[in-house]
């Protein structure tokens, strides 16, 4: 199996951003909703990305309330937007690169949503065992799985679901520069080994 696509979302600090970039993570996600606990302001975002090179930048939109796409694109200049499948009918996402998140239990009804270009489908709330591989039916776009930080045998899980990659979550710093990477390192180092 080729190297999986790795997306770490909810990055809130430079320590996580630099660690992930150094570990070869493909995409870093930053929440752009001011009312969210993991919100990263445009100025903090610019400060963080000034220190990293390599990963694509993702603006995570957790709610469409009080969000203006033009401002998000202008302020953050993301490579991709991470949105919920429930947002698709609410705005025109044409011409934007998208990671669309859908819960496993809504997977079958997701196929009824009008076709738009999707770069990645992110499947959350995975059951313990998948009865069959997931097929995107949306232009065969790659599938990412939202993995629990305790997940073991990542490659085996990806193969079982037929996924191209996975996502993990960043965490808050205890204090500036004081950081525990256990939640990321176990899985990222498994892939290196």
Tell me, what CATH number does 150's domain have? 3.20.20.70
Q: List Cβ neighbours of 131 (8 Å cut-off, separation of 6 or more).
A: none
d(CA 81, CA 64): 12
The pTM for the full model equals 0.87
Q: Are 81 and 59 in contact (CB under 8 A)?
A: yes
Cα separation, 78 vs 63, whole angstroms: 17
pLDDT in tens, 116-132: 678 898 989 887 665 56
Domain encompassing residue 123: 5-192
Quickly state the pLDDT bin for 92 (edges 50, 70, 90).
confident
> Is there a contact between 108 and 86 (Cβ–Cβ < 8 Å)?
no
CB contact at 8 A, 109 and 130: no
Strand partners, 90: none
Instruction: State how many domains the chain has.
Output: 1
Condensed to tens digits (0 to 9), the pLDDT of residues 35-82 reads: 999 999 999 999 999 999 999 999 999 998 888 999 999 999 999 999
């Amino acid at each position: 199996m080729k190297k999986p696509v790795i997306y770490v979302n909810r990055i809130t600090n430079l320590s996580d951003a630099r660690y992930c970039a150094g570990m070869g993570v493909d995409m870093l996600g930053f929440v752009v909703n001011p009312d969210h606990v993991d919100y990263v302001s445009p100025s903090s975002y610019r400060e963080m990305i000034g220190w990293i090179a390599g990963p694509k930048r993702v603006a995570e939109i957790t709610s469409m309330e009080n969000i203006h796409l033009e401002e998000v694109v202008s302020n953050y200049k993301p490579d991709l937007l991470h949105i919920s499948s429930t947002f698709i009918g609410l705005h025109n996402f044409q011409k934007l690169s998208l990671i669309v998140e859908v819960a496993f239990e809504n997977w079958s009804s997701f196929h009824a949503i009008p076709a738009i270009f999707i770069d990645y489908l992110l499947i959350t709330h995975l059951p313990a065992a998948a009865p069959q591989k997931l097929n995107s039916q949306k232009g065969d776009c790659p599938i990412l799985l939202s993995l629990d930080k305790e997940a073991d045998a990542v490659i085996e899980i990806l193969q079982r679901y037929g996924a191209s990659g996975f996502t993990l979550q960043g965490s808050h710093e205890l204090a500036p520069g004081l950081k525990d990477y256990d939640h990321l390192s176990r899985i990222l180092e498994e892939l290196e080994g």
